């Protein structure tokens, strides 16, 4: 079991968390940060050290969706049992696979989301927009990292394209294999800061984190702890400390993110398009013909990239889908089913069968 003890401040505690707690809360328990979520409880770190705490019975069933890595919880004094979840400052969630489109928590209380892409074929403005919308929706500050500038003849071409997509977002060009270059990340990696890396396979996320972990013992290593019945259990952590004192959240869920109901995030990334849409002559403009449509006219003038508008449309559709209730989705699927059956019948009729 890890013996390192962190202060609340080192663990990322902020005064804002205390605003939602009462004196009674502090008398009953103490705050702890969730570093792993398991079927039999939560792996937490607090100023008392590492522990595996049980979930209250009503929480256990919904633990996987309700509490996530990075969360702050109150733990009962002496009982190793979670009392309550402390209100989050930010939350990355995704639409769960399956038909009910539940929102599933992935990572909580992040300060920065590093969006990693490379100066090569991986670079894709639409994917960048998707990740940016996700960060803004989660209330996390995005920072774009362009890796492999050393392997490309014209890295500035990629940097310009990234700036065009997100003029107000910080962009760093980082050779992930070079410690001097990685030092550019320092302002976001101060003690108690929590970050995550997102991006396609092979863009350099592990290279970056491995370099940043430095000499300290990597805390992702499984730790052995006694569970409530005195048995040894092995728990793995999905949040670990960097040499600088910052925390990295690295959960499997981070690698499979789809956008959810992201209206705030969409507005932050596509404010240019939403401003244009407000100038269309008709309030319900579908932006398809040039009759008083500010968007069609901006595309014709070359002021708005057709690719960007198409991606806005696509993400918007995904976001709407995510907010439909199961009943509405069934109704839509049923209508679609009727439509395709009618089409099939028409086709058979035409073929004289
Ligand atoms: N020259 C150079 N090589 C890099 C850079 N960033 C990453 N690489 C190399 O690219 C390869 C893939 O990097 P990884 O760190 O494994 O990529 P990843 O994003 O963690 O990939 P997954 O684990 O599959 O998600 C490794 O061989 C790295 O050494 C860079 O900035 N410059
Ligand atoms: Zn329009």
Q: Is 283 in the same domain as 198? A: no
Does ligand 1 have an atom closer than 6 angstroms to the CB of 117? no
H or E segment at 115? strand 112-118
> In total, how many domains does the chain have?
3
- Exposed/middle/buried for 297, CB within 10 Å: 0-12, 13-18, 19+? middle
Q: Is 167 in the same domain as 58? A: no
Choose among 107, 91, 87: nearest CA to 18: 87
What pLDDT shows up at residue 344?
55
Does ligand 1 have an atom closer than 6 angstroms to the CB of 172? no
Of the residues 33, 58, 87, the one at which a domain ends: 87
Choose among 221, 227, 217: nearest CA to 51: 227
What distance in angstroms lies between residue 176's CA and the mean position of ligand 1's atoms? 7
Residue with the two structure tokens 């940016």? 132
Output 347 or 159, whichever has higher pLDDT.
Answer: 159
Q: Is 113 in the same domain as 238? A: yes
Spell out which residues have Cβ within 5 A of ligand 2, the ion.
280, 285, 287, 293, 295
CA 58 to chain centre: 26
Residue 347 pLDDT grade (very low, low, confident, very high; cuts 50, 70, 90): low
CATH number of domain containing 125: 3.40.50.300
Q: Is 139 in the same domain as 228? A: yes
What distance in angstroms lies between residue 200's CA and the mean position of ligand 1's atoms? 10
Q: Is 38 in the same domain as 120? A: no
pLDDT at 230 over 70: no
Question: Is the CB of residue 313 less than 8 Å from the CB of residue 270?
Answer: no
Question: Is the CB of residue 67 less than 8 Å from the CB of residue 40?
Answer: no
Does ligand 1 have an atom closer than 6 angstroms to the CB of 147? yes
Does ligand 1 have an atom closer than 6 angstroms to the CB of 214? no
Q: Express each pLDDT in 260-311 by its tens digit.
A: 556 677 888 898 998 999 999 988 898 988 789 999 999 999 999 999 999 8
The predicted model gives 18-35 an average pLDDT of: 93
Rounded Cα gap, residues 304 and 300, in angstroms: 8
Q: Mutate which of 203, 211, 220 to test ligand 1's pocket (most atoms within 8 Å of Cβ)? A: 203
DSSP 96-110: PSSTT--EEEEEES-
Is 97 a member of any domain?
no
Q: Is 237 in the same domain as 310? A: no
What distance in angstroms lies between residue 280's CA and the mean position of ligand 2's atoms? 5
Which atom of ligand 1 is nearest to 181's Cα? 31
Does ligand 1 have an atom closer than 6 angstroms to the CB of 148? yes
Whole-model pTM over 0.90: no
CA-proximal residue: ligand 1, atom 8 (nearest):
204
Choose among 191, 212, 190, 250: nearest CA to 35: 250
Among residues of the chain, what percentage have pLDDT more than 90? 48
Choose among 40, 86, 94: nearest CA to 63: 40
Q: What's the mean pLDDT when you consider all of the chain? A: 82
What's the alpha-carbon Rg for the chain, to the nearest Å?
24
Q: Express each pLDDT in 190-223 by its tens digit.
A: 999 999 999 888 899 989 998 998 755 444 334 4
Does ligand 1 have an atom closer than 6 angstroms to the CB of 210? no
> What CA–CA distances, in Å, run from 239 to 13, 111, 227, 266, 298?
15, 14, 20, 28, 45
Q: Is 230 in the same domain as 283? A: no
Of the residues 31, 56, 87, the one at which a domain ends: 87
Which atom of ligand 1 is nearest to 255's Cα? 25
The β-bridge partners of 107 are 92
Q: Express each pLDDT in 151-163 by its tens digit.
A: 999 999 999 999 9
Cβ–Cβ contacts within 10 Å for residue 88, how many? 18
CA-proximal residue: ligand 1, atom 11 (nearest):
202
CA-proximal residue: ligand 1, atom 7 (nearest):
204
What pLDDT shows up at residue 214?
76
CA angle 180, 181, 182 (to 5 degrees): 95
Is 98 a member of any domain?
no
pLDDT at 10 over 60: yes
Choose among 199, 145, 201: nearest CA to 175: 145
CATH number of domain containing 341: 1.10.40.50
Of the residues 250, 282, 312, the one at which a domain ends: 250
> What CA–CA distances, in Å, run from 261 to 93, 115, 277, 316?
10, 20, 20, 9
Q: Is 116 in the same domain as 243? A: yes
What pLDDT shows up at residue 332?
59
The β-bridge partners of 144 are 115, 171
- Exposed/middle/buried for 142, CB within 10 Å: 0-12, 13-18, 19+? buried
Does ligand 1 have an atom closer than 6 angstroms to the CB of 207? yes
Range of the domain at 298: 263-351
CATH number of domain containing 83: 2.40.50.140
CA-proximal residue: ligand 1, atom 6 (nearest):
204
Q: Is 282 in the same domain as 163? A: no
- Exposed/middle/buried for 42, CB within 10 Å: 0-12, 13-18, 19+? buried
Global ipTM? 0.96
- Give the residue numbers of the binding site: 147-150, 199-207, 280, 285, 287, 293
Is 99 a member of any domain?
no
Rounded Cα gap, residues 49 and 44, in angstroms: 8
Q: Is 165 in the same domain as 76? A: no
Is 102 a member of any domain?
no
Q: Is 142 in the same domain as 232? A: yes
Rounded Cα gap, residues 193 and 140, in angstroms: 12
Does ligand 1 have an atom closer than 6 angstroms to the CB of 150? yes
Rounded Cα gap, residues 200 and 102, in angstroms: 24
Output 17 or 217, whichever has higher pLDDT.
Answer: 17
Q: Mutate which of 114, 131, 159, 204 to test ligand 1's pocket (most atoms within 8 Å of Cβ)? A: 204
Is 94 a member of any domain?
no
Is 33 a member of any domain?
yes
Q: Is 230 in the same domain as 339? A: no
What distance in angstroms lies between residue 97's CA and the mean position of ligand 1's atoms? 28
DSSP single-letter state for residue 217? P
The predicted model gives 311-340 an average pLDDT of: 67
Is 300 a member of any domain?
yes
Does ligand 1 have an atom closer than 6 angstroms to the CB of 292? no
Is 2 a member of any domain?
no
pLDDT at 321 over 80: no
Query: Cα dihedral sign for 83, 87, 93, 98?
Result: positive
Question: Is the CB of residue 228 less than 8 Å from the CB of residue 282?
Answer: no
Structure tokens at 350: 């035409």
The predicted model gives 36-49 an average pLDDT of: 88
> What CA–CA distances, in Å, run from 183 to 135, 159, 186, 246?
23, 19, 5, 14
């Amino acid at each position: 079991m890890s013996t390192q003890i962190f202060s609340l401040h080192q663990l990322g505690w902020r005064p804002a968390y205390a605003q939602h707690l009462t004196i009674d809360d502090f008398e009953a328990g103490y705050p702890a940060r969730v570093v792993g979520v398991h079927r039999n409880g939560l792996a937490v770190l607090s100023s008392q050290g590492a522990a595996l705490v049980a979930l209250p019975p009503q929480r256990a069933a919904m633990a996987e969706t309700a509490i996530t890595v990075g969360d702050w919880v109150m733990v009962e004094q002496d009982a190793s049992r979670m009392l309550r979840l402390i209100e989050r400052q930010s939350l990355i969630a995704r639409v769960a696979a399956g038909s009910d489109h539940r929102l599933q928590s992935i990572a909580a209380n992040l300060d920065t989301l590093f969006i990693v892409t490379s100066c090569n074929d991986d670079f894709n403005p639409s994917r960048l927009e998707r990740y940016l919308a996700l960060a803004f929706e989660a209330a996390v500050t995005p920072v774009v990292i362009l890796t492999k500038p050393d392997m490309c003849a014209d890295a500035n071409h990629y940097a310009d394209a990234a700036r065009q997509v997100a003029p107000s977002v910080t962009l760093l060009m980082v050779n992930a294999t070079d410690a001097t270059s990685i030092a550019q990340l320092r302002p976001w990696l101060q003690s108690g800061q929590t970050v995550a890396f997102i991006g396609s396979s092979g863009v350099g996320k592990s290279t970056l984190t491995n370099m940043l972990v430095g000499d300290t013992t990597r805390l992702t290593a499984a730790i052995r702890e006694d569970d409530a019945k005195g048995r040894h259990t092995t728990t793995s952590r999905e949040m670990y400390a960097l040499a600088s004192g910052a925390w990295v959240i690295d959960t499997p869920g981070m690698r499979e993110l789809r956008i959810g109901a992201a209206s705030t995030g969409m507005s932050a990334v596509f404010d240019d398009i939403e401003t244009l849409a407000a100038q269309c002559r008709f309030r319900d403009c579908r932006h398809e013909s040039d009759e008083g449509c500010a968007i069609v006219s901006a595309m014709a003038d070359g002021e708005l990239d057709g690719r960007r508008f198409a991606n806005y449309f696509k993400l918007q559709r995904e976001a709407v889908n995510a907010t439909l209730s199961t009943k509405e989705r069934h109704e839509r699927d049923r209508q679609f089913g009727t439509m395709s059956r009618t089409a099939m019948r028409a086709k058979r009729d035409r073929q004289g069968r």
